[in-house]
Amino acid sequence: QGSHSTMSGQPSKPSGPLTQEEKELDFANYFHSYGYLYHQKDMLQDRGRMDAYRNAILENRVRFKDKVVLDVGTGSGVLAIWAAMAGAKRVYAVEATTMAKNARRLARANGFQEVIIVLEGYMEQLSLPEQVDIILSEWMGYFLLRESMLDSVIASRVKYLKPGGALYPSHAQLHMAPLCTQLYHARHAEYVEELAHWQTFGQYMRSTNSIEIDVLDETWRQEQFEYLMQTSHWCQLSPEEVIGESFTCLTLDVHDCTVDQVSSFRSNFRSRILAAAELTALGGWFDVQFCGSEQEPAAVDVELTTAPPSDTHWGQQVFFVSPPQHLLPGDVLEGHVAMTRQRANHRLLWLQITFTITRPSVGEIYPERTLNFRID
């Protein structure tokens, strides 16, 4: 139900932190938290994530046996250990944070110190001594592309993957759907409460400090609206909150997508409404598949989905429609989604959703709306 972007083409020059200043800023903004076990534990106890990667590797031993594997962003090294269990000849496990030390400890504790070579540093700035047969990585962020870790996978693919080699995961899709979610009303009530608190604060400033701050009222309102209503929210949605057909707005083949193609996209969509409800938001989630490559297909295909009601640490991203709009079954939501990276931090995103609502039963088309969001 949508004309979506299919990303393919020739590899482009990957972007990455090059200067020491850029490297330090990127580490502070992004990599820092990954150096702590509590963050690794959050991912390791995500059963949907773990089951998919474990099955994709261990049920495809025939593809990993005697192969050279690169694990990009190994974290605690669990995926690298599974690759070694599957019979890999050698595994290069690359980690940008000091978690690399723990990955080495786990590799040794599990008897794979002779197979797994842990390298600490940025993937783009390291040099491997050989080409690899398989690139393994858990690169997906919220809304699939937040964190921009796919850039490092693309860089390693261009530089190190043998012709015909495989990426795990091999494919990815980004989906969205219209929602009626109570989260909207909770966040809107919080927004109204913040405006009331500001008025109370203004009275205090006037009566106690003899300072008028009314001139800042609109700035406060805008700041709170952008934070509470125009920033995406993490949520675990139930299927009942989805009120219309889902649509796919991005499809990736990880074997040939480029950094330019995952840095921004624009996709048309069309969604038929299935229930009488209030349109309070649109939701976003992703699927990835582990199918191997055309030359080295997986013996067993595995899929990891984050669609509701799946319970993963990625959850789903919710984008509020404010004010909401009442919809009837058969109404059609039609428009386009445009995503780009934030200039101040390339690991964060901007999303714009433009749509109209058509009510075929009476031949009515409602005015076009454009909504802008930060994915922080």
**Is 147 among the residues known to form the active site?**
yes
- Out of 21, 22, 59, 147, the active site residue is 147
Cα(167)–Cα(186) distance, integer angstroms: 41
| DSSP-assigned letters across all residues of 275-343 | SSEEEEEEEEEEEEEEEE-SSSEEEEEEEEE--TT---TT-EEEEEEEEEEEE-TT-EEEEEEEEEE-S
Cα(92)–Cα(136) distance, integer angstroms: 10
**Which residues share a beta bridge with 308?**
none
- Out of 95, 130, 138, 223, the active site residue is 138
Task: Indicate the DSSP class of residue 216.
Answer: G
Q: What angle do CA 344, 347, 348 make, to 5 degrees?
A: 70
**Which residues share a beta bridge with 250?**
5, 174
3 state SS of 22: helix
| DSSP-assigned letters across all residues of 87-110 | T-SEEEEEESSTHHHHHHHHHHHT
CA 373 to chain centroid, in Å, comes to: 15
**Is 138 among the residues known to form the active site?**
yes
The residues annotated with a catalytic role in the active site are 138, 147
